[in-house]
Amino acid sequence: MNLFLKKRRRVVKKIMVGVCLFAAGSLASVLFAAAAARWKHASWGALPFAPVLIMTVVCLLVYKPLDLLFTRLFKDYFFKKKSYAHMTLMNFASDLALILDLGELANLVVNTFGEVLCLKTVALLVPNRVRNDYEIASAYGWSVSDAKRIRLREDSPLIGLIRSEGAHTLVRDRAVRTLAWQDANRLAHDFDSLRAGWLIPLFVKSEFVGAMAFSAARPEASFDEGDFHFFREFADATAKCVRNALFVSELKVANEELQDVQSHLLQSTKLAAIEQLATGLAHEIHNPLTIISGKAQVLLLQKDRNRLDQRIEEVLKTIVKQTKRAADITRKLLMFSQGSGAPKESLKLEQVLEDTIALVSYQTSLDGIEMTRKIVNAIPPVYANVHEMREVFLNLILNAVQSVGSKGKIHCEIHYQPQNQVIEILISDTGCGIPEDRLDKVFNPFYTTRSDGVGLGLFVTKQIVHRYGGSIRVESRPGQGSLFLVRLPREEVPASTVSAQKSFAWPLLKEEPLPREEPELGDF
Amino acid sequence: MKTLLIVDDEFEICDFLKTFFEEREYQVRTATSGQAALREIAESRPNVVLLDIQMPVMDGMAVLKKIKQDFPGVKVIMVTAVETREKIEEAIRLGADNYITKPLSLEYLEKDVQEKISHLTSPA
């Protein structure tokens, strides 16, 4: 189509030149005849077309040298202008080597290239080694957010073409024309997704490090050999900078990963130390606690005894209760330090919530607390440890119960956000709230506002949530209530472990004795 | 007569458990070491053994293994000071019938012992 258009233009141009020359010849002969008639009667008066013909031939002969002359003059002018742009870009390319940030580099390259050459769009395509595909680092002439959405797979036709063609500038129309219609369609789609008419691959030796895609402001514009030569030079200079920037960004990622692993390692070392300490403590403390609490219980549960003094009975009950509280400290510490190795399974969070609410329902009904729950849209199963999840719910709900005291509301809600695969757990209460200056302390270990509290519940909850890569946040208005928001990323159930984990049962853990069931104490 | 053996290296723990269960018409014997426990079992064949895991010289696990090997009819309830998953898992694998953690809830413990004994007597 394009070719045909170009030819037609050439034909029209030639006709126009012919007509102009003829007109110029006629005009010249008329003028000449008029001028000559002043001095002497024209001898060719009998042939009125002869002067026209003669002058046309003269004009025709003079046209070519004149045309050449003008063309040369104009070309020189344009070439100077063009080479100035090229020079600017080349100087700029050598300065680029100093920029090591890929984003900054990409912005500078596309904007300068686009502005200096008056292009419509420019996009810099770079490889993403993590996802093993290609993405646009920056774009000129179209919105960067649109551009960032474009991804080319390694096996896409355009990338294939670049790899087979090497470091040659690709022209969309020319490349598409060489292929059969189906492949051509796919290739054209790749070009169009980059909004590109031309594409300069960036190679450092034989390593493919990216590509510059661009389109001209006028669709009919074309570039000549000189331009392509310049593109090649510019691409070579840019390619080196892009590769350096890519290396730097990969190094950054690797460094971050390393730091992450290191902090995890440090954390697990800390946890191991706490576990060791807690295990030792539990051994040493639980025995004396067992004796104290046991002896008190023997007295309380004595058969055929004389009725105990009311005051003594109260004291004994307090002893039992307080020994349990002391034992809970080490239990919670153990819970949080051991957890990382806890067996995981596919869990329904709404069921865990139900179970937990059932566990505290006795307490809440006594206190006249109204509990409501809401499950918003279907919650996918999570891959987690059931005890840890129960601990999260239990601590948050118990915290709410204690903050409400009596006569109030507690609302539990679970959401699922499919777009970012996050499960949100909301637990709000109409309790006393938390003063602003204490908001950042509630998750600290051993921080409590209750006289009989241990201050480990929310701390352990936070540790568990963090271990699952989630976050926990609290909002509160003193006197009106608090809201705890837990966000858990949905962890996929590893296919290989599903059956293994399901068969892993803790038959006796379920009928766990006293420690966690609070209401039992009231029976003494 | 319901018979019970309490094994714990802490004498005081044996003591109050003995008082508690004797009041409820159990015949209770105590042992403060693994070896003593095995001697007692051989001698008196109790229905249920309350066995502390953490003991010097011969620990609860070793005793449990020996009991299940030599006296498979005896029910064993493990008593742990620390709820360590590996320990519990190991005890269950070795054939322990239940486990409880310290500090003990005597009411729960009695219910559990009673249940184990009723299991023993009812089929026979």
Inform me whether the C-beta atom of residue B44 falls under 8 Å from chain A C-beta atoms.
no
CATH number for the domain spanning B40: value is 3.40.50.2300
Question: What ipTM was estimated for this complex?
Answer: 0.90
| pTM for this prediction | 0.46
Given a contact cutoff of 8 angstroms between Cβ atoms, the answer to whether A335 and B81 are in contact is: no
Q: What pLDDT, on the 0 to 100 scale, is given for residue A338?
A: 65
DSSP assignment letter at A155: T
How far apart CA A336 and CA A455 sit, in angstroms, is: 13
Given a contact cutoff of 8 angstroms between Cβ atoms, the answer to whether A314 and A366 are in contact is: no
Taking only the tens place, the pLDDT of each residue in A446-469 is: 788 777 677 788 888 888 888 888
Given a contact cutoff of 8 angstroms between Cβ atoms, the answer to whether A90 and A118 are in contact is: no
Chain A CB contacts of B20 below 8 Å: 294, 297-298, 301
Question: Chain B window 60-89: which residues touch A at a Cβ cutoff of 8 Å?
Answer: 81-85, 88
The 3-state DSSP class for residue A524 equals coil
Given a contact cutoff of 8 angstroms between Cβ atoms, the answer to whether A328 and A454 are in contact is: yes
User: Which among A287, A338, A514 has CB closest to B105?
Assistant: A514
Report the relative pairing of strands A369-375 and A408-417 from DSSP bridges: parallel
Q: What is the DSSP string of B73-93?
A: TSEEEEEESS--HHHHHHHHH
Chain B CB contacts of A507 below 8 Å: 92
Q: What pLDDT, on the 0 to 100 scale, is given for residue A81?
A: 65
Judged by CB atoms closer than 8 Å, whether chains meet at B17 and A294 is answered as yes
How far apart CA A231 and CA A240 sit, in angstroms, is: 14
User: Which among B23, B81, B92 has CB closest to A303?
Assistant: B23
Q: What pLDDT, on the 0 to 100 scale, is given for residue A507?
A: 37
For residue A267, CA distances in Å to A272, A273, B84 come to: 9, 10, 20
Interface probe with B: pick from A301, A508, A517, most Cβ of B within 10 Å? A508
How many independent structural domains does chain B possess?
A: 1
A10: which 2 tokens?
């050439």
Q: Residue B67 sits in which domain range?
A: 2-121
Chain A CB contacts of B102 below 8 Å: 286-287, 289-290, 327
H/E stretch holding A424: strand A422-429
Instruction: Kindly report the backbone phi and psi dihedral angles of residue A329, in degrees, each rounded to the nearest multiple of 5, phi listed first.
Output: -60, -50
Question: Chain A window 264-303: which residues touch B at a Cβ cutoff of 8 Å?
Answer: 279, 282-283, 286-287, 289-295, 297-298, 301-303
User: Which among A289, A298, A509 has CB closest to B102?
Assistant: A289
Taking only the tens place, the pLDDT of each residue in B12-44 is: 999 999 999 998 889 999 999 999 999 999 999
Taking only the tens place, the pLDDT of each residue in A140-190 is: 988 878 888 888 888 888 888 888 888 788 888 888 888 887 888 888 888
Q: Count of CB atoms within 10 A of residue A167's CB?
A: 17
DSSP assignment letter at B98: E
Interface probe with A: pick from B53, B55, B106, B112, most Cβ of A within 10 Å? B106
Helix and strand counts by DSSP (H, E) for chain B: 5, 5
A204: which 2 tokens?
């450092």
Q: What pLDDT, on the 0 to 100 scale, is given for residue A339?
A: 58
Given a contact cutoff of 8 angstroms between Cβ atoms, the answer to whether A124 and A106 are in contact is: yes
User: Which among A330, A331, A514 has CB closest to B108?
Assistant: A514
How far apart CA B40 and CA B50 sit, in angstroms, is: 13
User: Which among B92, B102, B105 has CB closest to A287?
Assistant: B102
Counting every residue written for chain B, the total comes to 124
For residue B58, CA distances in Å to A248, A373, A432, B51 come to: 60, 51, 53, 12
